[in-house]
Amino acid sequence: MTDNTLRTSISSLRGVGPKLRLRLEELAIDTVEALLFHFPLRYQDRTRVTPIGALQDGVEAVVCAEVRAASVVPGRRRSLIVKVDDGTGLLTLRFFHFRQTQVQQMKPGVRLSLFGQCRRGNAGAEIVHPEYRIGADNPLLDQALTPIYPTVEGIGQAVWRSLTDQALSQLTRSPPEDLLEDAADEQFSLAEAINYLHRPPAGATLEAIRAWRHPAQLRLAKEELLAHQLSMRDLRAKERAFKAPVINSNGEFQRRLLSRLPFEPTGAQTRVLEEIASDLNQPVPMLRLVQGDVGSGKTLVAALAALAAIDAGYQVALMAPTELLAEQHLRNFSDWFAPLGIELTWLSGKVKGKQRSATLDNIASGHARLVVGTHALFQDAVIFQRLALVIIDEQHRFGVHQRLALTQKGEDQGMPHQLVLTATPIPRTLSMLAYADLDCSIIDELPPGRTPVTTSLVDNQRRSNVIERVGNACREGRQAYWVCTIIEESEALDARPAETTAELLREQLPGVSIGLIHGRLSSAEKEAVMGAFKAGDIALLVATTVIEVGVDVPNASLMIIENPERLGLAQLHQLRGRVGRGATASFCVLLYQSPLSQNGKLRLNVMRESNDGFFIAEEDLRLRGPGELLGTRQTGLMTFRVAQLPEHEDLLEEVSQLAERIAQLHPKNARRLMDRWTGERRAFARV
């Protein structure tokens, strides 16, 4: 059997007219196969009758009982109340919308079979708006559990059930081939697993399904993760099929930079640089991710890599996700590169008009050797003469497709080498999944002389103590950050919370020089504020989370973070990484708004207990799930149909080995697995 039978159009199913077809296509369901991969969100158990005495709070159940009394209760919300009894207990049914015929039906002694979600309160068991049918001899019972599908407006559950019924019978007639090597050992074949999850039989263990640990789910999750892994490898192979310039630097610029620095590279920095140098020396594009905790010195590694390319006569592009971070890089790199006679070129969306065309000319002529900027570097109009290396800072905010768009820039010479830096360490297993298309280097050592940041949790009710402490520190010549959190990306431009906080702090801390920085300031204004803070003219910097990444002021040793409960642990860790960069003991105060949820307490305690980005990332994953961790809403990198993380984390090791074997031994199967799970559209969407 081939999978082709299931590839027939969704419109071959009964009931799918043009209107429904369009709606389904919006959900990327265009074939019978795609429909089969649209799995239920949850299930209702209508396979048995539950005695009223055994009804549990919050659980949906079928009940068969006799009407004892019915009455219409007047009031603000007129309602029909029906008391029913099955000999094990009394149940109240409540209807807010009802017709007169319904009231007449509910005569004492009438038998009902009904289904709904039970609430147990002081007044006993109650179901609001149950589905019901007159006559208990014909209860609302089904053979299988009832699937509830994720849906959109205009497609009801009955439609989903009818469509999947048809698709499942096609599946039974022509089951897809099992492509996993050891499929025979599996408890479920692919077709059986799909069938099971659409129609779990009576008696199925819903608990296991809810925990994502049912063997049918594991069977599918394994295959899906495998397909994902294979497509990442495929992407990598496609990129590696391009030619890249061989960079053979004599190390002159690197030596000159290092001789001017007041420190030596750490062992880890040196090791990672060697890995990069050997990649750059190959005629295929480097695809390397450098992971390193905040403050581990990734910027120096990037700078030395850039110098190797510049030394060999090539151009380098350095991109950062935000203007502020790009500007920081511009400043840091200028400090390092100006003495070497290398000028930097700046390009952001805000560079306009004459200045912009001059900049573009500069880049096209090859005159610009290191171009620093934001997403603006991706635009079609930006043409490089000899681009050999692209450095992307904080990659998790860039989509994979953006990365690929940039690679087009190197077309003349093939594809540029790519170096991706991330300060968001992710657990090893997860990185096997997310970065299967990249080689990883880890800077697992901090420069010497750092003192770990001491973190404390303080209730916002004790805010005045904290303000006093900040004032004292500033008057002693120390510097501090006061971070105001924003909830949504869109608020990044709303400066009011930070402005108000700065005003209040100025009133409360006379004599302390207080600066303010947020996303709405112009580049020049931001530059001025950061410059003054760096020079020590500002003692206390009130900021939004724009300072999250890249800001580097070693004398700042105190950070207050307001409403830390709103942020992810990885983000808190990033923020906190702005202090603890010098030799003085540093402190971070998480000024939370009480009451904290149980989970909120656990999460903030992780910050208090650890300064290790990898450990924090593991805990973040455990307490929050991977979507948040990787910012997937932006990249679409980690959305799966069945696979769940961290629930299926234990499968990743095996999946990764399996991918290796299948790619080598059964490339045809690899292709079919990718087609089956990632589909053409999805593959296309990634590029």
Select the span of 261-269, 459-467, 479-487, 501-509 touching ligand ADP (CB under 6 A).
Answer: 261-269
CB contact set of 422 (below 8 Å; sequence gap of 6+): 289, 290, 291, 394, 395, 396
Select the span of 172-180, 212-220, 298-306, 607-615 touching ligand ADP (CB under 6 A).
Answer: 298-306
Binding mask 420-439 for ligand ADP (x = CB under 6 A): ---x----------------
Binders of Mg ion in range 534-553 (CB under 5 A): 550
Q: Contact, 581 vs 588, CB < 8 A? A: no
Binders of ligand ADP in range 330-369 (CB under 6 A): none
Q: Binding to ligand ADP by residue 263, rule CB under 6 A?
A: yes
Select the span of 14-22, 115-123, 289-297, 477-485 touching ligand ADP (CB under 6 A).
Answer: 289-297
Query: Please, what is the minimum distance in Å from the beta carbon of residue 303 to ligand ADP?
Result: 9
Return d(Cα 347, Cα 319) in angstroms, integer: 10
DSSP track, 282-301: SSS--EEEEEE-TTS-HHHH
Query: Please, what is the minimum distance in Å from the beta carbon of residue 547 to ligand ADP?
Result: 13
Select the span of 162-170, 264-272, 584-592, 663-671 touching ligand ADP (CB under 6 A).
Answer: 264-272
Which of ligand ADP, Mg ion, none does 582 bind, CB closer than 5 to 8 A by kind?
none
Q: Binding to ligand ADP by residue 297, rule CB under 6 A?
A: yes
Q: Binding to ligand ADP by residue 292, rule CB under 6 A?
A: yes
Return d(Cα 289, Cα 393) in angstroms, integer: 10
Rg of the chain (C-alpha set): 31
Phi and psi at residue 113, to the nearest 5°: -120, 130
Q: How many residues bind ligand ADP (CB under 6 A)?
A: 17
Binders of ligand ADP in range 544-563 (CB under 6 A): 552, 554
By C-beta, is 124 or 554 nearer to ligand ADP? Answer: 554
Query: Please, what is the minimum distance in Å from the beta carbon of residue 586 to ligand ADP?
Result: 13
Return d(Cα 480, Cα 351) in angstroms, integer: 32
Q: Binding to ligand ADP by residue 580, rule CB under 6 A?
A: no
Return d(Cα 44, Cα 37) in angstroms, integer: 20
By C-beta, is 214 or 526 nearer to ligand ADP? Answer: 526
Hey, what's the torsion of the CAs at 215, 219, 224, 229, to 10 degrees?
A: 110
Which of ligand ADP, Mg ion, none does 321 bind, CB closer than 5 to 8 A by kind?
none
Burial class (CB within 10 angstroms; exposed 0-12, middle 13-18, buried 19+) of 201: exposed
Whether a cis peptide bond, with omega within 30° of 0, leads into 425 is: no
By C-beta, is 257 or 300 nearer to ligand ADP? Answer: 300
Query: Please, what is the minimum distance in Å from the beta carbon of residue 262 to ligand ADP?
Result: 8
Closest of 172, 313, 325, 169 to residue 249, by C-alpha: 313
Binders of ligand ADP in range 442-501 (CB under 6 A): 447
Whether a cis peptide bond, with omega within 30° of 0, leads into 130 is: no
Select the span of 37-45, 263-271, 513-521, 609-617 touching ligand ADP (CB under 6 A).
Answer: 263-271
- Which tokens hold the place of 616? 């924090």
What residue type is assigned to position 654 of the chain?
E
Contact residues: ligand ADP, CB under 6 A: 263, 265-266, 269, 292, 294-300, 423, 447, 552, 554, 581
